[in-house]
Amino acid sequence: MKYSSQMVAKPYFIFALILLAGEIVFGLAMGVQYLYGDFLFPAIPFNVLRMVHTNLLIVLLLFGFMGATYYLIPEESERELWSPMLAIITFWVFAAAGVATILGYLLVPYATLAELTYNHLLPTMGREFLEQPTITKIGIVLVVLSYILNVTMTVIKGRKTTISVILLTGLFGLAFFFLFAFYVPENLVMDKFFWWFVVHLWVEATWELILGALLAFVLIKTTGVDREHIDKWLYLIIAMTLISGLAGTGHHFFFIGTPEYWLWIGSIASAAEPVPFFLMILFAYNMAKNRRIQHDNKIALTWAKGTAVVGFLGAGVWGFLHTLAPINYYTHGTQLTAAHGHLAFFGAYVMICFTLISYAMPILRGRPHGNGPKAQSVERTSFWMMVIGMIGLTLALTAAGIMQIEMQRLRDVADALDFMSAQAAISTVYGVRLAFGVMVLLGLLTYFYSFFVKEEQVAA
């Protein structure tokens, strides 16, 4: 570690991993409820489990991005972080607010939570992924602003690199588009339209800038390829991200009451959305092939390549499967959407967090050359368990989606099953999904274990 202030990344990484464990546990609970509706009911109804599951994901990714940034920015800027103290305060505020919000979800009915937090003063609750009480949303804004301030000041006062500037652009975008979470008009269509300004323009635009910058950083460090080359790839990737991703928001505007032209614009633009992810694969493998150094932390490079490949599969391939309007007409709002969501979030965003943690944590723990071979081998096992588990889960959900579409939507109305009957007919597949979910959890536990593997002492 070159700068002592990089140390502030550590609690962020650890907390992100704890939240990930929570996210998976709640996911499994939902998987059980899909099969046995009485499980945990009425103590924790499905909507609460889901809210905890998805909100933990968003918060853990924010913690992961923040940890990654605090680690990377001093090195890129060649100076200490502007205010390590602010970063630590931000951590505790965000962690406390996050825990309080989750407890709020679990302890009182949602309507009571809305009442307790004065939702009527500025109603923002009860929309998918943006279920947080308004006060929490305001807290998120403050936390993100303090984070951006810290990063911006560090970049301004230090060396400016392509990576740090693009990362910062992504962060400003993230902050800007979150503001649409406060706009909740009476008209549901208008509400839905701008809701996507947060959701799509986070995950399919601004977060991709952050993802690209983080990936580029780890590739520079683990391959030693020179910056000119890395920067060029990074620019191409994010150019394609914006060109395809902005108008690509249109693939959400097919059937929610928005004008008809989105059927064309959304289909065409979003058909190009796999391109930046495909470029990321070329990028990662090319850099690995042309590497100038053999870094001892091999598993970090594995995670980097894995992010590119699984991100492409989840976001690119599974996204493309149902992005064209004539196909989406039948797939919209089915388990196929869930399949895509799971592999895309895991492949692109959870895995980039793992990449950074895998690269940075050993250094923060005083092992500049990465963990020892035994720990890396355990980590490699966990990598494959999680990746195979997630792909298996996604394939199961894909099968569920196709069965649902066939039984409920493709048949003549006389033969078509209603929603609940079609779901009952799919239950075996949901069992398979649950089994792969358990595999993901076991993979994560194996990953945790890799932190505690003792190496045999080699005489120096």
Question: Looking only at residues 255 through 284 of this chain, which bind another protein when binding is defined by CB under 8 A?
Answer: 255-263, 265, 282
- As given in the structure block, the two tokens for residue 271 are 């058909």
Could you say which of 107, 128, 145, 431 contacts another protein (CB under 8 A)?
128
Q: In the complex with another protein, which residue's Cβ is closer, 19 or 205?
A: 205
Give yes or no for residue 327 binding another protein (CB under 8 A).
Answer: no
Which residues from 24-83 bind another protein, rule CB under 8 A? 33-38, 41-42, 45-48, 50-51
Collapsing DSSP states into helix, strand and coil, what is residue 330? helix
| 160 is an interface residue for another protein by CB under 8 A | no
Identity of the residue numbered 456:
E
Number of Cβ atoms within 10 Å of the Cβ of 209: 24
Q: Choose which of 28, 190, 388, 441 interacts with another protein (CB under 8 A).
A: 190
Instruction: Report yes or no: 313 and 278 within 8 Å, Cβ to Cβ.
Output: no
DSSP code string of 225-259 = --HHHHHHHHHHHHHHHHHHHHHHGGGGSSSSS--
Which one among 75, 131, 204, 208 touches another protein, defined by CB under 8 A? 131
Distance between CA atoms of 426 and 421, rounded to whole angstroms? Answer: 9
Indicate whether 215 belongs to the interface with another protein (CB under 8 A). Answer: no
232 belongs to the binding site for another protein (CB under 8 A): yes
Q: Which is nearer to another protein, 206 or 450 (CB)?
A: 206
The secondary structure element, H or E, covering residue 397 is helix 373-405
CB of 111 to another protein, least distance (A): 5
- Taking the CA atoms of the chain, what radius of gyration do you get in angstroms? 22
Question: Closest CB to another protein among 92 and 419?
Answer: 419
> Per CB under 8 A, which region of 1-9, 151-159, 244-252, 364-372 contacts another protein?
244-252
Per rule CB under 8 A, is residue 236 in the interface with another protein? yes
**What is the b/e burial string over 27-44, where b = at least 16 CB atoms within 10 angstroms of the residue's CB?**
bbbbbebbeeeebbeeeb
| DSSP secondary structure letter of residue 118 | T
Residue closer to another protein by CB (options 46, 448) is 46
Q: Does 434 bind another protein (CB under 8 A)?
A: no
**Closest distance to another protein from the beta carbon of 142 (Å):** 24
Give CA–CA dist 142/134, Å, rounded. Answer: 13
Maximum alpha-carbon separation in the chain: 77
CB of 188 to another protein, least distance (A): 6
> In the stretch 349-388, what mask flags binding to another protein with x, by CB under 8 A?
----------------------------------------
Three-state secondary structure call for residue 325: helix
Amino acid at 58: I
Q: Is 294 in the site for another protein (CB under 8 A)?
A: no
Binding to another protein (CB under 8 A) within 397-426 occurs at: 408-410, 413, 416-420, 423
Rounded to 5 degrees, what are φ and ψ at 278? -65, -40
Among 228, 289, 452, 456, binds another protein (CB under 8 A): 228
**Which CB, 41 or 384, lies closer to another protein?**
41
CA–chain centroid gap for 291, Å, is 28
Smaller CB separation from another protein, 41 or 92: 41
Q: What are phi and psi of 253, to 5 degrees?
A: -105, 25
